[in-house]
């Protein structure tokens, strides 16, 4: 079949008028001789969005390589068949955020999974991803689906999958992703989605599941020891309603909100990219904090599974703490809590996160575990007490949720600030205390974007074939290649360079974008806290310059 024939066949099973019209225009233009339209059709139909451990994520448009109602229907029925093949009487809870078509995709999923014979429960309205992850455990269902693209660009949407029962509400990992993908492909090959059975009598979850999430989350931090003046932004996402209820229930009082960003808005009009980590994304929140004379800024990403923290420095200028800084402080707090209770536990972080958490675990006599990148791995660590990854994801209450949770983490950080304030200390002071006790840890990340996706495996292959003897002026002591599995971790396209001065550099392809990521970490235990921080940062800066030069040569 030609790509035009494939596009027509897709259009004929598409229940969405807008995406059908898209294909009609592209097909007509291609038949009229438009090379651009023909190229666009090939881009949309020569491949399809691959269902992986992160589910599906892509631009909302017509075609097998885009997010749309046809693709969602195939995914929903494929996932239903996977659950049915496991035996028993499967059930699923489905949530959705405020992005374009999120409710439509969630409703299609509920109807089609019910039609396939799976008990389907739809959350009552748009809600954060952590509420859906909580509902998988709270409702004791077989699986969960969250329709969200998290902090992706406005034109994207996504489909995240969780498994209950023995998987405890965690995201899927291999080989389950491949098994689900095979069922989806079988549906796509054999079924017209308009002919798939639908049942509109699916269940709507009771408000009690949301009430239970609020109640459980509010109790994490105990009673606040002091009042904190804080600003909250939802980054145009769905975090505010739930986070607000939690903050009030936890005793932190009303935050000052970033009014322009507090309501869900799929256009994300005030930010170039709806990710609190992006430069400028928190500018409105910092302006609000200055006006309100606040002590803390709390920012959730659009589906509220991530948390960013802003604080004033000693000169009164506002700064965003890195994911590693927040992760280390929350890990220290978790270790203190375990010590106070006289219990042991396990701290975990992805391998690209700072080594600081491992040092906390060592000094408190706790188990520490490195995982591959992605919270699907962190959340599955046995006996987990606390876990994080540097991409501003934190899990402070593993018994409640088995995924990163930006609202729970916000409550825990609020409680930390309240405790510090009661003791006459600030977050800046606490970071200094950390450096004095555990050493100073500095980190940096370099992203090398490529225009041709084939450049990524070429770059990784070049680094494997000609590994550097030194990075900058520092000799490479060892190279750990995770391609065949390493240190008990599954195989992954990751290279780790351990250097003579104790610093390290990690290189891996991005899982969601056409770029290679480099993670650089260094530490120091010599001299005062200020000297340690300066020394560690200077080492990271030198290594970053050297890695940029090395990758430029390799590409």
Q: Is 150 a catalytic residue?
A: yes
Q: Distance between CA atoms of 488 and 505, rounded to whole angstroms?
A: 20
Phi, psi of 133 (to 5 degrees): -60, -40
**Rounded to 5°, angle at Cα 429 from 427 and 430:** 60
Q: Is the peptide bond preceding residue 175 cis, with omega within 30 degrees of 0? A: yes
Q: Distance between CA atoms of 100 and 125, rounded to whole angstroms?
A: 14
Q: Distance between CA atoms of 355 and 327, rounded to whole angstroms?
A: 11
Query: Residue 7: CA atoms inside 13 Å, Cβ hemisphere, count?
Result: 29
> Residue 367 CB: number of other CB atoms within 10 A?
16
Query: Residue 474: CA atoms inside 13 Å, Cβ hemisphere, count?
Result: 23
- Residue bearing tokens 């876990």: 387
- Please list the alpha-helical segments (H only) found in 423-522: 427-438, 455-465
- Residue bearing tokens 């030198």: 542
Q: Which helix (H) or strand (E) holds 233?
A: strand 230-233
Catalytic pick among 37, 64, 102, 150: 150
- Contacts for 371 with CB less than 8 Å, ≥ 6 apart: 348, 349, 350, 351, 377, 378, 380, 381, 387, 489
Residues serving a catalytic function are 150
């Amino acid at each position: 079949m030609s790509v035009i024939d494939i596009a027509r066949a897709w259009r004929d099973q598409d229940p969405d008028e807008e995406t059908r019209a898209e294909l009609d225009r592209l097909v007509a233009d291609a038949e009229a001789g438009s090379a651009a339209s023909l190229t666009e059709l090939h881009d949309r139909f020569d491949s399809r969005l691959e269902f992986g451990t992160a589910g599906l994520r892509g631009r909302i448009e017509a075609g097998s390589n885009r997010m749309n109602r046809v693709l969602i229907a195939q995914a929903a029925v494929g996932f239903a068949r996977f659950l049915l093949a496991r035996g028993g009487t499967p059930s699923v809870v489905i949530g959705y955020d405020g992005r374009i078509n999120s409710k439509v995709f969630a409703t299609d999923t509920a109807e089609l999974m019910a039609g396939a014979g799976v008990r389907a429960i739809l959350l009552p309205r748009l809600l954060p991803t952590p509420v859906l992850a909580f509902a998988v455990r709270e409702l004791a269902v077989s699986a969960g689906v969250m329709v969200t693209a998290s902090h992706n660009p406005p034109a994207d949407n996504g489909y995240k999958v969780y498994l209950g029962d023995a998987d405890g509400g965690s995201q899927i990992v291999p080989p389950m992703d491949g098994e689900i993908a095979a069922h989806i492909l079988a549906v796509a090959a054999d079924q017209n989605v308009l002919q798939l059975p639908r049942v509109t009598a699916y269940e709507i979850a009771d408000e009690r599941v949301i009430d239970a999430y609020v109640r459980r989350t509010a109790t994490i931090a105990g009673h606040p020891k002091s009042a904190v003046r804080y600003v909250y932004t939802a980054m145009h996402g769905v975090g505010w309603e739930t986070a607000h209820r939690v903050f009030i229930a936890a005793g932190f009082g009303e935050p000052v909100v970033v009014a322009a960003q507090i309501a869900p808005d799929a256009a994300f009009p005030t930010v170039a990219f709806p990710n609190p980590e992006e430069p400028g994304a928190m500018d409105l929140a910092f302006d609000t904090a200055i006006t309100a004379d606040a002590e803390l800024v709390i920012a959730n990403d659009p589906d509220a599974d991530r948390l960013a923290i802003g604080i004033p420095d000693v000169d009164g200028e506002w700064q965003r703490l890195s994911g590693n800084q927040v992760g280390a402080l929350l890990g220290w707090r978790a270790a203190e809590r375990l010590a106070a209770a006289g219990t042991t536990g396990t701290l975990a972080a992805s391998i690209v996160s700072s080594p600081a958490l491992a040092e906390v675990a060592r000094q408190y006599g706790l188990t520490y575990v490195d995982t591959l990148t992605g919270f699907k791995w962190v959340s599955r660590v046995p006996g987990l007490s606390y876990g994080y990854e540097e991409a501003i994801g934190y899990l402070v209450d593993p018994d409640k949720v088995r995924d990163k949770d930006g609202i729970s983490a916000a409550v825990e950080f609020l409680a930390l600030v309240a405790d510090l304030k009661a003791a006459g200390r600030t977050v800046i002071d606490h970071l200094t205390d950390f450096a004095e006790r555990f050493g100073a840890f500095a980190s940096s990340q370099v992203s090398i974007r490529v225009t041709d996706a084939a450049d990524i495996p070429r770059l990784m292959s070049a680094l494997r074939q000609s590994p550097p003897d030194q990075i900058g002026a520092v000799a490479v002591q060892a190279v750990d290649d995770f391609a065949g599995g390493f240190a008990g971790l599954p195989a992954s396209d990751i290279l780790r360079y351990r250097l003579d001065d104790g610093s390290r550099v990690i290189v891996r392809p991005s899982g969601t974008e056409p770029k290679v990521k480099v993670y650089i970490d260094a530490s120091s235990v010599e001299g005062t806290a200020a000297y340690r921080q300066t020394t560690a940062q200077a080492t990271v800066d030198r290594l970053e310059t050297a890695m940029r030069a090395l990758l430029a040569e390799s590409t």
